[in-house]
């Protein structure tokens, strides 16, 4: 399947990545700008198992060239070989495919690079920074880390997004775009100082993720093993 995928596909093939064909079974517009697809997995879950924040690379065609983007599995069910994928819709090949997807449509997926290591000791407070693109991973992370309280700074997004937060232990702070970095820098230090075993998880656009990751590790001196940072998309 790597044939026709350019250098990215060739590299993944050398790394023994596994390829699968996914088939859409249901499509739902959660909001006008957020779409959920249910798919059969083509044997993916049986071959790889399931872990929190698990993701796959989907392959699209962009201006005649292969293009891959990563998406977190939502509600994976190994017994039925199904899961959902959620798309924050904007301009681009991935969003165009998601808007048009209907039951019976297929897409190729590659599994390589995904993983999850729970922090030890378990977090006394989880500090999450994200946006609509990382919402599926945020939901999965909060489920995985169990009873720990969490503060979530969430940039942008419309009403009706499928947050799985529990108001009893999750403080969800909706932040307008362009204000996220300043709000985190204002509010995060006091929360870190008030908890013995924090865990900071950052997944925004690449530029914002780099800025906040450097701030958390260098300015606030949070150890590397107590942080996770990954740029989920690249702002134009």
Residues 130-179: pLDDT tens digits? 999 999 999 999 999 989 999 999 999 999 999 999 999 999 999 998 99
Q: For residue 4, what are its two tokens?
A: 């026709």
Q: What is the mean pLDDT of the chain?
A: 91
- Report pLDDT for 223: 95
* In this structure, CATH architecture of domain 6-111: Beta Barrel (2.40)
Q: For residue 69, what are its two tokens?
A: 């983007």
Domain ranges of the chain: 6-111, 125-229
- Report pLDDT for 145: 93
* pLDDT tens per residue across span 81-131: 999 999 999 888 999 999 999 999 999 999 987 788 889 999 999 999 999
What is the b/e burial string over 71-93, where b = at least 16 CB atoms within 10 angstroms of the residue's CB?
A: bbbbebeeeeebbbbbbbbeeeb
Task: Tell me the whole-structure pTM to 2 decimals.
Answer: 0.90
* In this structure, CATH architecture of domain 125-229: 3-Layer(aba) Sandwich (3.40)
């Amino acid at each position: 399947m790597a044939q026709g995928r350019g250098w990215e596909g060739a590299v993944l093939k050398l790394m023994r990545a596994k390829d699968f064909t996914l088939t859409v079974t249901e499509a739902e517009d959660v909001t006008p700008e957020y779409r959920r697809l249910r798919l059969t997995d083509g044997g993916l879950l049986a071959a790889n198992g399931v872990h929190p924040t698990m993701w796959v690379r989907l392959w699209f065609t962009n201006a005649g060239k292969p293009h891959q983007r990563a998406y977190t599995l939502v509600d994976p069910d190994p017994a039925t070989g199904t899961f959902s994928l959620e798309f924050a819709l904007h301009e681009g090949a991935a969003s165009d495919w998601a808007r048009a997807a209907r039951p019976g449509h297929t897409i190729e997926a590659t599994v390589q690079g995904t993983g999850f290591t729970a922090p030890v000791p378990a977090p006394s407070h989880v500090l999450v920074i994200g946006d609509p693109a990382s919402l599926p991973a945020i939901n999965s992370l909060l489920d995985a880390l169990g009873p720990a309280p969490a503060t979530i700074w969430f940039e942008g997004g419309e009403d009706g997004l499928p947050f799985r937060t529990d108001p009893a232990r999750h403080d969800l702070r909706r932040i307008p775009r362009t204000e996220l970095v300043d709000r985190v820098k204002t509010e995060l230090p006091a929360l870190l100082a008030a908890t013995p075993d924090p865990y900071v998880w950052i997944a925004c656009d690449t530029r914002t993720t780099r800025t906040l990751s450097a701030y958390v590790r260098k300015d606030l001196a949070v150890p590397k093993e107590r942080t996770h940072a990954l740029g989920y998309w690249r702002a134009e």
